[in-house]
Structure 1
Amino acid sequence: MAGEIPDLHAQVRTGTGKGAARQARRDGMVPGIVFGGDVDPLPINIPFNALLKQLKAGRFKSTLFNLKVEGHDDVRVICRDVQRDVVKDLPTHLDLMRLRRTSKINLFIPVEFLNEEEAPGIKKGGVLTVVRPEVELMVTAGDIPEKITIDLADMEIGDTATISMVDLPQGAKPTIDRDFVIANISAPSGLRAAEDEEDGEETAADEVPATEQDEDEN
């Protein structure tokens, strides 16, 4: 299971319709609705500043939240829509969907790299370049992995770690079909510069006109 599912605090919104929503906004709240899960929809208000902070953190729509509403059991939800003011681009309403344990959802799961100090490429001065610190997976809501791991113990300079090398948790699969790169071990900057210089010299030699080569031979 994921180590930490963030809490999202809300209040029950009394009243419905545009008037209640406008009053909520005047009170520094963002109105919303929680639906799904074979339970009646629940109108809520979420503090504007708290919601804005979550939105600025990124990936709000692909983050699983533990919704806490006073007087109601905690429930896992995922955002299905955030409506914004067309001028100010600030949130004005949001839709949250309750999830069953068997629900399939897309989430970004962090990647942990093991045995970095043991990697032959690192010992030779290579540099670990992380292309994707997180990988988006389709997972089951009741069995969300805390992380996925990649063992670097046998990686040399120039080697890459791709998603096909990862033992994914049961029931999880990438949202991207192709075998994409997660990280690689690249050559040290000094070695890369030397190789680039050698390549440049070889290219220059290849580009010498034939007439000049003939003169040198004579």
Structure 2
Amino acid sequence: MENLFEVHAEARTDQGKGASRRLRHSGKVPAVVYGADKEPVSISVNHNQFIRHLAEEAFYAHILTLVIDGKKNQVVLKDLQRHPSNDNKIIHADFLRVDAKHAMTMTIPLHFINEEKAVGVKAGGMVSHLMTEVEITCLPKDLPEFIEVDIAKLEKDEAIHLSELKLPKGVTLVALTHTQDEHLEEGERSSYDQAVVSIHEPRVAKVDLEEDTEEDEDATEE
């Protein structure tokens, strides 16, 4: 069975747009590996195999084993460029080497649970996902694949904010590390403490009853 967290690659020496075009035509994706105080290395990966890796959500927030010409490297997928009109066509990828002693910044998906059981939903409300991912910082050993958001107790016209998320040990939200110049009064939220999910009254299209009545009267007169 294929290991979805192990990516096989080849080192490449050809640089430039022409070389990258030739790689793509041959079914490969140009990529680069950098970080950990080492020189960047240009590589290529098999496009079809890479697409299978990308189909796994956890691949985007997981420590990967990048095998370059037989040598293993611990990395994370840092950036991905897709074709503007075809999401299944990868143009370029960036991998960041993992340094066990240094914190890393990653974008992690949010998993919302208990939506149907939410107090606000049972009261007729509708759930709005205001964020689907968050940026975190942590040591490689503490990297989560996702952050769970339980909305079971969320009532109508209420929201869960970043500061209310339950984070795994060693994980910090980047947004909440920002500071503001203005002083916050008691009970006020920082503008960086954004809402993640809310439950609100469903929007219903308003019907102009007077207009309908006039139309009915006109039809009667005819």
TM score, norm. by length of structure 2: 0.59
Runs (5+) with no aligned partner, structure 2: 84-89, 177-191, 210-222
Paired residues of 1:105 and 1:141 also in contact (CA < 8 A)? no
| Map of 1:179 onto structure 2 | 193
| Map of 1:209 onto structure 2 | none
| Map of 1:108 onto structure 2 | 108
Q: How large is the RMSD of aligned CA atoms in angstroms?
A: 4.1
Aligned residues: 179
Paired residues of 1:121 and 1:155 also in contact (CA < 8 A)? yes
SS at match of 1:154: coil
| Map of 1:137 onto structure 2 | 136
Equivalent-residue separation in structure 2 for 1:130 and 1:169 (angstroms)? 21
Q: How far has the Cα of 1:182 moved from its partner? A: 0.9
Q: One-letter code of the match for 2:105?
A: I
Equivalent-residue separation in structure 1 for 2:146 and 2:15 (angstroms)? 42
Paired residues of 1:35 and 1:96 also in contact (CA < 8 A)? yes
Paired residues of 2:61 and 2:144 also in contact (CA < 8 A)? no
Q: Normalized per residue, which structure has more helix?
A: 1
Paired residues of 1:5 and 1:64 also in contact (CA < 8 A)? no
Q: One-letter code of the match for 1:145?
A: P
SS at match of 2:136: strand
Equivalent-residue separation in structure 2 for 1:69 and 1:184 (angstroms)? 45
Equivalent-residue separation in structure 2 for 1:70 and 1:18 (angstroms)? 18
Paired residues of 1:5 and 1:65 also in contact (CA < 8 A)? no
- The higher radius of gyration belongs to 1
Q: How far has the Cα of 1:183 moved from its partner? A: 0.9
SS at match of 1:160: strand
SS at match of 1:100: coil
- 1:87-110 Cα offsets, whole Å, 9 max, x none, are xxx84x665331112331222232
TM score, norm. by length of structure 1: 0.60
- 1:174-210 Cα offsets, whole Å, 9 max, x none, are 2324111111111244xx56xx78xx99xxxxxxxxx
Task: Using the aligned pairs only, state the percent identity.
Answer: 27
Are positions 1:156 and 2:170 aligned together?
no
- 1:123-160 Cα offsets, whole Å, 9 max, x none, are 12211121112222223222112322233233221111
